[in-house]
């Protein structure tokens, strides 16, 4: 399967905008800061800093259009050719907000608990890859298709939220 860089960026922008608007409307929210373009947070794979009355929460947003498969795509390599690990492997976020933009369905996955579970169980799940053209070249993203119901049943603290 192949995706263009602009398609991915469009989904990511829409997902981040929807999540920021939703978090901003919550009564416990003091502020939401989008740090997607801040290199200090990019290297830690953190997209949002959500400040509530209880403190600061670091959030990684994963936008996805493919809601009909009933799977999450947990990225293990963001750029196989360069050996770059996938965001799911190295994010320092407290929560991964996995958001299906078409249906506005959000799954809040506690990190690192979800990653620890995935590390133990990932060989159960099918590996898939996509290529993204960049100029005259391309890069390959690799991950696992993980059934949403399996994550909901096996990872404590996962929350499903309709926005």
The tens place of each residue's pLDDT in the chain, 163 residues long, gives 444 444 556 888 999 999 999 999 999 999 999 999 999 999 899 999 999 999 999 999 999 987 788 999 999 998 889 988 888 889 999 999 999 999 999 999 999 999 999 999 999 999 999 888 888 888 899 999 999 999 999 999 999 999 9
Q: 3-state SS of the chain: helix, strand, coil percent to 5?
A: 30, 40, 25
pLDDT score, position 35: 97
**CB contact at 8 A, 125 and 145:** yes
pLDDT score, position 8: 54
Cα(54)–Cα(6) distance, integer angstroms: 37
Per DSSP, helices labelled H in the chain are 5-24, 39-42, 87-90, 113-121, 148-154
95-100 vs 55-64, strand pairing mode: parallel
Cα(105)–Cα(102) distance, integer angstroms: 8
Report the run of H or E that residue 103 belongs to, with start and end: none
Tokens at 153, concatenated: 């049943």
pLDDT score, position 9: 60
pLDDT score, position 143: 94
Cα(24)–Cα(118) distance, integer angstroms: 30
pLDDT score, position 49: 98
């Amino acid at each position: 399967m192949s995706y263009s860089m602009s398609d991915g960026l469009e989904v990511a922008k829409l997902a981040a905008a929807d999540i920021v608007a939703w978090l901003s409307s919550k009564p416990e929210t003091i502020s939401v800061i989008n740090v997607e373009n801040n290199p200090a947070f990019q290297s830690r794979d953190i997209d949002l800093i959500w400040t509530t009355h209880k403190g600061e929460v670091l959030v990684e947003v994963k936008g996805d259009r493919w809601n009909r498969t009933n799977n999450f795509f947990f990225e293990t390599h963001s750029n196989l050719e360069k050996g770059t690990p996938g965001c799911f492997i190295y994010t320092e976020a407290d929560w991964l907000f996995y958001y299906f933009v078409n249906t506005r369905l959000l799954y809040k996955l506690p990190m690192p608990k979800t990653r620890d579970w995935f590390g133990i169980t990932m060989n159960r799940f099918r590996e898939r890859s996509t290529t993204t053209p960049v100029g005259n070249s391309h890069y390959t993203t690799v991950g696992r298709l993980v059934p949403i119901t399996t994550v909901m049943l096996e990872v404590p603290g996962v929350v499903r939220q309709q926005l």
